[in-house]
Amino acid sequence: MDAHLLSQYVLSGIVIGLLYSLMALGITFIYSVMKMINWSMGEFYMIGSYVQYALLATVLGPERWYLALPLAMGTVFLLGLVVQRVLLRPMFVGMIERRDEYATVVTIALMVFFRNLAIVLGGPNQYAPRDYARPRMLGTLPISGNRFVALVATLILLGLFALAIKTTWVGRALRGAAQNRVGIQTAGIDVLRLDMLAFGVGVALAAAAGALLAPDFLVYPENGAISTFKGFEIIVIGGLGSIGGSVVGGLLLGVIEALGSVFLSAAYKDLYGFVLLIALLVFRPTGLFGERERTV
């Protein structure tokens, strides 16, 4: 294989890895602040893809794709606020004794509910948004217009997220809540509101991934299952709770899948990331950027 072709596969892996990292970032962000795993993240991804498709197909048209993405994110953000306020807040106000079990049951119930609701409303059909951008060249890699738009939008979202977390008061408060929930409450900050905001932002990132990947992975009730699987793979590779690890893990997974498909077999693409995951768990159980929990 010549260097030109190899560079194309590596670039392709980097592109898809960045798109994967949006989902993983949402999962690890919610975990960092609320200390819970949201098993229904794939369904928020699915809802984002449906909202984006519905807007493009009925109201906006494919030429206004740049409006559909923030509207899809905003819709899922508001839905996330309601879900957190009604279903998850009881965990943090002393109404639930076994918090971890409660979070698992509630988020799995949400997963089943949203999937069946999608089937009732849209049927078991698969939908694909129309192309809304022309094909481009990315270095040596010819890339579809939709995927190029998804790449640019992902880079912008990751940049805005990093900027907000590092420079704004709310971002610093969220980082403080991730490090010590009790400590930040002693400073007079309402950690329950931060929980609601973190959940809304986390699921909105998942919705963005769903909207951006809809042209490639299609829109149907179970399309969040694979993305959830990839997201959890990435956060284990990068380290649970590590935001930077989510991005690095996504890039690594994308490149491993791309190269494995070329040098081994494309039929086992999903297996290569799993092998990497097992290897990391053997040699570094905390992931690349995770830290071992300290107890006293």
- pLDDT tens-digit readout, 39-48: 888 899 999 9
Q: Is a pLDDT exceeding 70 seen at residue 242?
A: yes
Q: Residue 77's pLDDT is what?
A: 94
Please report the pLDDT score of residue 261 as a whole number: 78
Mean pLDDT of the chain: 83
**Confidence at 79, pLDDT banded by 50, 70, 90:** very high
Residue 21 corresponds to which amino acid?
S
What is the rounded distance in angstroms from the CA atom of residue 185 to the CA atom of residue 247?
Answer: 30
CB 238 within 8 A of CB 287: yes
Q: What is the largest CA-CA distance in the chain?
A: 62
| DSSP secondary structure code for residue 130 in this structure | P
CA distances from 106 to 39, 40, 88, 101 (A): 9, 9, 8, 9
pLDDT digits (tens, 9 = 90+) for 4-26: 777 777 777 787 888 788 878 88
The H or E element spanning position 51 is helix 41-54
Tokens in use for 40? 């229904």
Let me know: does 76 contact 54? Beta carbons within 8 Å: no
71 pLDDT band, cuts 50/70/90, is: very high
pTM of the model: 0.86
Amino acid in the structure at residue 62: P
Does the pLDDT value for residue 78 go beyond 90?
Answer: yes
Share of the chain above pLDDT 90, in %: 14
What are 111-149's pLDDT values in tens digits? Answer: 999 999 999 988 888 888 877 777 777 777 777 778 888
pLDDT confidence of residue 247: 83
- Candidate from 51-55, 132-136, 198-202 with smallest mean pLDDT: 132-136
Enclosing H/E stretch for 59: none
Q: Which residue has the higher pLDDT, 252 or 114?
A: 114
